Amino acid sequence: MSSFDAKAEIAASRLLATGISSLLPVTQEDKCILLKRTLQEGIDVVVWKGRFTQPMEIDIHDDDHRITFSCSLAGTSHTRFDDGASPLVHTLQEKEASISFHPGRVGTFTQVGQFDSVMVMVRPDILEKWPLDTSVMPSDITIGDCYLTRCACNAELRATAQVLSQGLCSVQAFAGSNTDRLPLWLLGQCLVMVSLIQQGNRHSAPHTDRIPWRDQQHLLRARDLLLQDLSAAPTLPELAHEAGLSLLKLKCGFRQLFGHTVYGLFQRERMQEARRQLNLGLPVLTVASDLGYSNASHFAAAFKKQFGITPSEVKRQR
C-alpha cells in the first residue's frame, strides 16, 4: 500500500494549491490529476480523477474550511477521522453525491482503482447567503460541526458533473484558446450541481451508514487481514473470528464501509495486483500462480471479467 508517514500530514489548502505530482508518492503505473479553479473568492471547483493500482492513503489536515459538494462519477473513496471525540469513517461510493464539512480535522483519505470526482467547495459565509434547504443544510453551519449526507446521483446530476469535469479539463489544456470556458459558465454549472445535490438529499432516505466506531475499527482490521495474502482468501467465519466481528456484522459492514462484499473486495484487489504484475512484464502463468490460480484459463476469465481484456492482451499492449 502506498502511504505517507503518519506524521507527514498534508494541509488540504497546500494540496489544492500545489497539485498532485510533488506531494503524492505515485508510481509510474499510477495516473492522477487534481485540477482546481477559483470562480470567485470563496468558491472553487475541483476535479480529481485517475487510477491508483494500489490503495493510496493520504494523511490530510482539513485547513481549507469549505463546505464540499461532491459527485463521484467513478470509484469509491473512504475518509477516516480519528482525531477527536467523535471519530468518523465516511464512504462515498461510485454514482453517489455528498455534502461534507470537516473544518480543522485530521484524517486519512483512501482511494484505489479508477476514480473520477467533481467537487464544488464553498466558504460557509457565502453559502449562508444562498437560499438553502435547511432540512438538508443546517442553518447554523458556521459552528463547524463535522457532518456528511449522501444521495444517489441521478442522470441530471451526473451529466452536470461530467460537463464540469470536461469543462475544467479543457480550461487546463487549452487555456486562452477559443475552447476555454468562461468563469461565469463554470460558476453556473457549479450552482446547478449544488442545487441538485441538495435536492437529492431532500428526497433520499435518512443517512444510516454511521457504523459504530468500534465496529469500524474491526472492519478495517478485517480488510487488512483479507488483503494480506492475495493468493488465498480466508473463509468468512475465519475472518470474522480474527477481526472480532459476528458474521452478519462482517458481511453488512463491508457493504456499508467499503462498498463491496468481502470476496468482491478481495477479487478486485487481486485483479489489480495481477494487472500491476503484468505491466511489470511478468509472465501470465507466473502471475496466475502467484495469485493462487492453478488453472490459467480461470485466471484469464477472472481478469477479463474485471477489466474487459485478457492478460495476454495486456502483455501485447506493453
Q: Domain-by-domain residue ranges, the chain?
A: 10-203, 213-317
For cell 463535522, the residue is 146
Intrachain domains 10-203 and 213-317 with the same fold = no
Give the pLDDT of residue 8: 59
Task: Tell me the average pLDDT across 224-234.
Answer: 94
- Rounded percentage of the chain residues whose pLDDT exceeds 70: 79
Residue 80's φ and ψ, nearest 5 degrees, are -120, 125
Lowest mean pLDDT among 256-260, 268-272, 312-316: 256-260
Residue 206 scores a pLDDT above 50: no
CB 170 within 8 A of CB 179: yes
Q: Find the helix packing angle between 213-227 and 262-279, rounded to 10°.
A: 40
Give the pLDDT of residue 184: 87
One-letter amino acid for residue 240 of the chain: A
Task: Tell me the average pLDDT across 17-21.
Answer: 65
- Nearest of 41, 222, 69, 49 to residue 133 by alpha carbon: 69
- Nearest of 1, 2, 53 to residue 24 by alpha carbon: 2
β-pairing verdict for 31-40 and 43-61: antiparallel
Q: Which residues contact 221 (CB under 8 A, 6 or more apart)?
A: 242, 243, 244
Task: Tell me the average pLDDT across 290-312.
Answer: 93
pLDDT (tens digit per residue) in 22-76: 556 556 677 888 889 999 999 999 999 988 888 888 888 888 888 899 999 999 8
pLDDT (tens digit per residue) in 154-187: 899 999 999 999 888 776 544 444 445 578 889 9
In 15-161, the DSSP E strands lie at: 31-40, 43-61, 67-74, 77-81, 88-92, 96-101, 106-122, 147-152
Q: Which residues contact 316 (CB under 8 A, 6 or more apart)?
A: none
Q: Which CATH architecture has domain 213-317?
A: Orthogonal Bundle (1.10)
CATH no., domain 10-203: 2.60.120.10
Give the pLDDT of residue 1: 42
Task: Tell me the average pLDDT across 230-235.
Answer: 94
Confidence class for position 2, pLDDT limits 50, 70, 90: very low
- DSSP track, 156-204: HHHHHHHHHHHHHHHHHHSTTSTTPPPHHHHHHHHHHHHHHHHHHHHHS
CB 118 within 8 A of CB 169: no
Give the pLDDT of residue 178: 46
Confidence class for position 193, pLDDT limits 50, 70, 90: very high
CB 56 within 8 A of CB 24: yes
pLDDT (tens digit per residue) in 262-289: 999 899 999 989 998 998 899 999 999 9
Residue 21 scores a pLDDT above 70: no
**How far apart are the C-alpha atoms of 315 and 318, rounded to whole Å?**
6
